[in-house]
Structure 1
Amino acid sequence: MSNTSEASSAATTWTVWIALASFGLVALFLSALASAADSAVVLEYHHVSDNTPPSTSVTPKTFERHMAYLAANDFEVWPLPRLVAAVRAGKEVPDRTIALTFDDGYRSVYEEVFPRLQARGWPFTIFITTGSLDDGDRNFVTWDQLREMEAAGVTIANHSVNHPHMIRRLEGEDKAAWGRRMRREIVDAQARLEQELKQPARLFAYPFGEFSPAVAAIVRKLDFVGFGQHSGAIGPGGEFSALPRFPIATAFAGMDSFAIKVRSRPLPVTGTRPESGVLDPGDDRPKLHLTLGPGPYRPEAIRCYMGGDTVPLKLESGTPPRLSLRPARALQPGRSKVNCTAPATDGDQWFWYSFLWMKPLPDGSWYRE
């Protein structure tokens, strides 16, 4: 997130970039960047079923088309812990490397996903809401099925005990009590995973993709790597308490869109203002300010979108450049995601950045799912 040291670092990096240009070395530098990939894409699914809500589902037929595309186009599918470790260390990863993740632990992951990916020899990660398994909910996998999948190489990770909206306080709950409750959601879920399984990963997916700097600080203090549901690729400069994933559901599962997403790269945003996407009820058209880092893209080519609308932008040239954006229409209560993209200047990929606004109802209460 944004701070003075990050701004200073970004300015230094842009100074180096300008120096490279003055010596005619930009093309050589960009070529080295293209051959030394240090980013990758993480995909996020929920249900793979014909009989579940389209907003959180893809059909088995669509899922199979996605996997066939990856195979036909020479993508490498890595276990999520391996991918995170490599990117976090700034190590090279092969071009076209992705990880597959599934949130909640729905039964279709065992029935539809597991056999398909086993046949391909591909790893994947399931983020488990432990309370649903302990309650015996038939919509979810069982502990025995999880043990079977773990033995076959599937990564099992943490998605809380009760799947709460982590940005929200209960009525009468102060900040300290809220913090203790959020910590228990993560710690108690990890304890259950460790009781039932051999080696659950220390990875955490935010329920509903909702987080704030305060929630991310809890995840970071507990030494977890966190994942949201805001779109984009992960890179070494990312915030590892809140990494992006591309959510894949029926409305966003077309093959043209899928092909762009799995080839994307992280737009180098070195600072955001505000840092939190949690809004007050009266924040109808919140402003977002992004500080940009260097890379093989043109800042003036960035375009941002929200709910199908183009978001008006203002680019402030400088070292580093800054981008200001504000939705053209008032946000409705709920989650509103801003997606910003720019075409690469060294290939046919797109750079991608996403930011999530979360707005309560006019009376200050929170929206229902």
Structure 2
Amino acid sequence: MKTFLRIIVAGMIIWTGLVIAAPVTGASINNGAVILMYHRFGEGDFPSTNIRLDQFEAHLKELAESKYTVLPVEKILAALKKGETLPDRTVGITIDDGYRSIYAEAWPRLKKAGFPFTIFIATNGIDRGRQGMLSWDQIREMHKAGVTIGAHTASHLHMPAADMGRNLNELTKSNNRLAMELQKIPSLFAYPYGETSSAIQKLSRATGYQFAFGQHSGVVNSTTDIFYVPRFAMNESFGHLNRFQLVVNALPLPVSDLTPTDPLVTSVNPPLLGFTVTAEVGHLRRLSCFSSNEGKVSVEILGAIRVEVRMTKVFGRGRTRVNCTLPGPGGRWRWFGTLFNVVR
């Protein structure tokens, strides 16, 4: 354990933040993918994390149209990392936590549609046989059939509220259980609740994950931080077909020089959000940004490509999302988002 911890610490020291590939130019500003996030299926008692089955079937029917390409998320990210061009309207599907309705409702429908997907498993609930959770037999069956299994900590921890020792223990315990049950250590990780910090991202990379996912909206592209990959959340309130079509047709809003670099809010609240947009995007005067605790917020354009987002209301404890959208070609929208966290 001491040797492993030294490796982790060394990895944290040398890590300075990673994007998928080089800055985008020209036609590559449209090269990206939408990654979706679900939790429960047909569990109406939990509307904030549930998608109704009629909604989910409408999503799958839409994705079955020839203009979409559904790929495994690891293939999407590996392609972008190599600088490869993805098919237009590439989509990835992920599911968090490990509820039994994944096996009973989602998997049969996804299998019939021929769509790959990833499940991020929080292992304690499985080990304890918690009601409504998957069993290891079900997880192994899906894994053997080609479903990708990723890590999601052991206890579904609020990671920014824990110290690094506990966070490391959670990742190690989760990896050990998944390796024992599936004979494979996961390469993908999703932060519970989408909550993270710069230090936690460094720890995730040093632990050996290749990519880590949040719960903030946005289209993945070559400027995306590979340890803070955005995903569009789907539930009963945000899962109607019109919104789904808007999301899966979204285009990248490639940004760089993002400030602040840490999504954990400490001394400056609200944070002074800023980013530089790839010059080829243009039309930044039409950019709009929205905060989940304030609604539409002020946007200042400095020069031709620098955006400063100015929020006025102090963020309360927990999560605050900020989304910025810009009209793009063909009636589609460019989309960048982030999620800030104030420790509870």
Structure-2-length-normalised TM-score: 0.88
Name the structure 2 match of 1:105: 98
Name the structure 1 match of 2:222: 236
Name the structure 1 match of 2:318: 334
* Distance in 1, Cα, partners of 2:274 & 2:202: 22
Q: Is this contact kept in 1: 2:176–2:185, CA < 8 A?
A: no
- The answer to whether structure 1 residue 213 and structure 2 residue 198 are counterparts is yes
Q: 1:153 to 1:200 in 2, by over 3 A?
A: farther
| 1:90 aligned partner, one-letter code | G
Q: Is this contact kept in 2: 1:297–1:343, CA < 8 A?
A: no
* Distance in 2, Cα, partners of 1:151 & 1:167: 34
How much has 1:334 moved relative to structure 2?
2.2
Alignment partner of 1:257: what SS? helix
Instruction: Please identify the structure whose Cα radius of gyration is greater.
Output: 1
Cα RMSD of the aligned pairs, angstroms, is 2.2
* Distance in 2, Cα, partners of 1:278 & 1:235: 23
Give ranges in structure 2 of 5+ residues lacking alignment. 1-15
How much has 1:297 moved relative to structure 2?
3.9
Q: 1:78 to 1:115 in 2, by over 3 A?
A: same
Name the structure 1 match of 2:262: 276
Q: 1:52 to 1:294 in 2, by over 3 A?
A: farther
Name the structure 2 match of 1:166: 159
- The answer to whether structure 1 residue 56 and structure 2 residue 49 are counterparts is yes
Name the structure 2 match of 1:305: 290
- The answer to whether structure 1 residue 70 and structure 2 residue 51 are counterparts is no
* Distance in 1, Cα, partners of 2:145 & 2:282: 41
Deviation above 6 Å: which 4+ runs of structure 1?
A: none
Q: Is this contact kept in 1: 2:31–2:252, CA < 8 A?
A: no
Aligned length: 324
Identity %: 34
Alignment partner of 2:158: what SS? coil
* Distance in 2, Cα, partners of 1:67 & 1:255: 10
Alignment partner of 1:311: what SS? strand
- The answer to whether structure 1 residue 347 and structure 2 residue 318 are counterparts is no
* Distance in 2, Cα, partners of 1:240 & 1:322: 22
How much has 1:73 moved relative to structure 2?
5.1
* Distance in 2, Cα, partners of 1:316 & 1:323: 6
Alignment partner of 1:251: what SS? coil
- 2:121 counterpart (122, 128, 134): 128
Name the structure 2 match of 1:119: 112
Give ranges in structure 1 of 5+ residues lacking alignment. 18-28, 170-177, 361-365
* Distance in 2, Cα, partners of 1:323 & 1:232: 16
Name the structure 1 match of 2:300: 314
* Distance in 2, Cα, partners of 1:236 & 1:79: 17
**Which stretch shifts more, 262-271 or 156-165?**
262-271
How much has 1:250 moved relative to structure 2?
1.7
Q: Map Cα deviations across residues 99-128 of structure 1 (whole Å, 9 max, x no partner).
A: 110000111101100110111111111000
* Distance in 1, Cα, partners of 2:225 & 2:331: 26
Q: 1:48 to 1:200 in 2, by over 3 A?
A: farther
Q: 1:198 to 1:78 in 2, by over 3 A?
A: farther
How much has 1:200 moved relative to structure 2?
5.3
* Distance in 2, Cα, partners of 1:251 & 1:157: 26
Q: 1:62 to 1:353 in 2, by over 3 A?
A: same
Q: Is this contact kept in 1: 2:320–2:341, CA < 8 A?
A: yes
Q: Is this contact kept in 1: 2:251–2:332, CA < 8 A?
A: yes
